[in-house]
Chains A and B, each alone.
Chain A
Amino acid sequence: MIAERIPGILPPLMRAESLEVTAIHSIAGGLSARSPLASSAPFIAPHHTATRAAMVGGGSHQIKPGACSLAHRGVLFIDEAPECGLGVLDALRQPLESGLITISRNIGNVAYPARFLLVLAANPCPCGKFSGRGRNCTCSSQQVRRYLGKLSGPLMDRIDIRVEVESLSRVEMMQSELGESSATIRKRVIAARDIATRRFSDEAWSLNSEIPSRALRTTYQPERAAMNFLHNELDREQITARGLHKVMRTAWSVGDLVGHVQPTLADTQKAFALREGISL
């Protein structure tokens, strides 16, 4: 539900992006006659039984882009992620890092762009009832551990935001007024993106998620207090070095949404809490 609505809050593709997306979809043969040019962010939701080749691309006669390239500049959503085959999710680690996937077959090597927003969904346990008071859950602690253990540490280390979705309460069920519409949220996102694009006008990148780690340590560092907080977490081994950089990037986005020139301590703590899935 939530995942399907993410493209609705993403800004429209810029001309260059649109051409990239169109090119990939054209190779995959996924363009319809009615919309020859992709103008909005793609939403790709492969089933959890998808193979590694389906996810990253492959083929012996012609190397076709996989789901992660089709989701370029858009959203790759995998529901029931722990049910995925062995190594399928971990195959996404490299493109997540570099925004590019290189596929090697005997007919040659092809590099497809794959800069996507990865969204994973999972149940709290195999039986799906380990929420609320959890009394209906029949899973052993080992089953739960094994189930969530399918999401490897290095993969989870690359996830910026974790949200626990509570089951609907009675009051929420009865509410007639709907939440904020995607269109309203989209306006905020577009405004935040504009700020980021302007800030990075002299740089080789345009999104907060693309700030290189060296730049994060020099020009694009959050406030002093925020850095002290992060270094403290690093010392206590609550966060990895990669995690630290990822929190800083998220902090920039949090700051952009509220209009801060530089991420404050509060912005950084919020980014950290989003990553840890806890409320600080």
Chain B
Amino acid sequence: MNLCEARAILFSAIEGGTTYWVREIEFLGPLAVVEKLRTGGYDPIKFEKTISKVREANPAEILDRIAVTGSRFITPEDEHWPLSLNDLAAPPIALIVKGAIDALHALSLAIVGTRNPTNYGVRIAGDFAAGFVDREWVIVSGGAYGIDAAAHRGALVAEGITVAVLAAGIDVNYPAGHARLFAEIAETGALVSEVLPGSLEIPARFLTRNRLIAALSKATLVVEAAFRSGSLRTARDAAELMRPVMAIPGPITSPTSEGCHRLIGERAAEVVTSVVDAVEFVTSFR
């Protein structure tokens, strides 16, 4: 068993973002953790599921399943590993990437927001994506309806590179209506997933996925977010990583701008009103 296979086993058995396991892997190394799990070095009741998954895992089969989807399995030992991910409290054990891996190393802006945007939000997300693409930035976002899709489309229309970080498996088109968009993104940019192919999206995965969006990009822009919104999680993740966070203001009567105003009010995000503003703000951080 080599490092890559050990990581594949752990990747299949452990859900992303679990700080305990990430620490164990960091201190003992993936090979030792797999060995310790197999030989009963961990509490058999508390870690019952993880232990049984590790015992049953067949690394060759896991790597095959990934290869079949036309994507690559990259680990922190890999030369292509995006180092920006190591800033996370719980970096992923490994990633599955489809498309251009180089896109993960470029200067990038995360654009996040609600799944129910107004026309204003869709327009702004598209404009900012296109504006940053024109300045040779890469766009990073999720795969949801709404702002995510608007950001990707804006980047694609401006013939730029865009990265979608998915909450489900790399071969699961979720939402199904975005199958074509995902294919288009993978042509020039990349699709990233932290779960095995075929895994379904579950609410917890959206939150762990959000930390990847924050970590993969140099700055985060929240376009429209409701008072309770997953995009605010991404913004807070980015702030924890000391990455600049920006928010687009909207009318105070608009429920979809409430979250942005909350971030601005808490001084957690900088108000930006134009692409030029935003570029100036993020470059001042370098």
Q: Mark A135-147, 1 if CB is under 8 A from B, else 0.
A: 1010001101100
Distance of A133 Cα from B119 Cα, bound (Å)? 17
Residue in contact with B253 in the complex, picked from A131, A135, A145, A238, CB distance below 8 Å: A131
Q: Chain B residues with Cβ under 8 A from A142's Cβ?
A: 115
B119 shortest CB reach to chain A, Å:
5
A237 / chain B contacts, CB cutoff of 8 Å: 153, 157
In this complex, the interface size class of chain A, counting residues with CB under 8 Å from chain B, is 10 to 19
B255 at the A interface (CB under 8 A): yes
Q: State whether the Cβ of A166 lies closer than 8 Å to any Cβ in chain B.
A: yes
A243 to chain B, nearest CB (A): 13
B145–A145 contact, CB under 8 A? yes
Confirm or deny: B226 has a beta carbon within 8 angstroms of a beta carbon on chain A.
Answer: yes
Q: What are 12 A-B residue pairs whose CB atoms fall within 8 Å in the complex?
A: A130-B255, A132-B255, A133-B258, A135-B227, A141-B116, A141-B146, A145-B115, A145-B145, A166-B253, A238-B126, A278-B118, A278-B120
Number of interface residues of B (CB under 8 A): 19
Residues of B within 8 A of A236 (CB): 126, 130, 157
Which residues does chain B contribute within 8 Å of A135, judged by CB atoms? 227, 255, 258
Tell me which of B119, B126, B253 contacts A276 (CB under 8 A).
Answer: B119
Q: How far is the CA of A276 from the CA of B146 in the complex (A)?
A: 16
Partner of A133, one of B120, B123, B227: B227
Most chain B beta-carbon contacts within 10 A, residue among A133, A166, A237, A277 = A133
Partner of A134, one of B146, B153, B157, B256: B256
Interface residues, chain A, CB within 8 Å of chain B? 130-135, 137, 141-142, 144-145, 166, 236-238, 276-278
Do the beta carbons of B226 and A134 come within 8 Å of each other? yes
CB of B109, distance to nearest CB on chain A (Å): 18
Partner-A contacts on B (CB < 8 A): 114-116, 118-120, 123, 126, 130, 145-146, 153, 157, 226-227, 253, 255-256, 258
A54 CA to B157 CA, complexed, in Å: 43
Name the prevailing secondary structure of the A interface residues.
loop
**Complex contacts, B146 vs chain A, CB 8 Å:** 141
B116: which A residues are within 8 A, CB to CB? 141, 144-145
Using Cβ atoms and an 8 Å threshold, which residues of chain B touch A132? 253, 255
Docked pose: A276 CA to B153 CA in angstroms: 18
CA distance A136 to B187 in the complex (A): 42
Closest CB in chain A relative to B142 CB, distance in Å? 13
B-side contacts of A145, CB under 8 Å: 115-116, 145
Complex: A137 Cα to B146 Cα, angstroms: 18
Give complex CA distance A109, B153 in Å: 45
Residue of chain A at shortest CB distance from B228: A135
Chain B residue with Cβ nearest A164: B118
Q: How far is B130's CA from A238's CA once the two chains are assembled, in angstroms?
A: 13
B123 — which chain A residues lie within 8 A by C-beta? 238, 276, 278
Q: Using Cβ atoms and an 8 Å threshold, which residues of chain A touch B226?
A: 134
Closest Cβ neighbor of B156 among chain A residues: A237
Other A-B pairs, 6, CB within 8 Å; known A131-B253, A133-B255: A132-B255, A134-B226, A135-B258, A142-B115, A236-B126, A238-B126
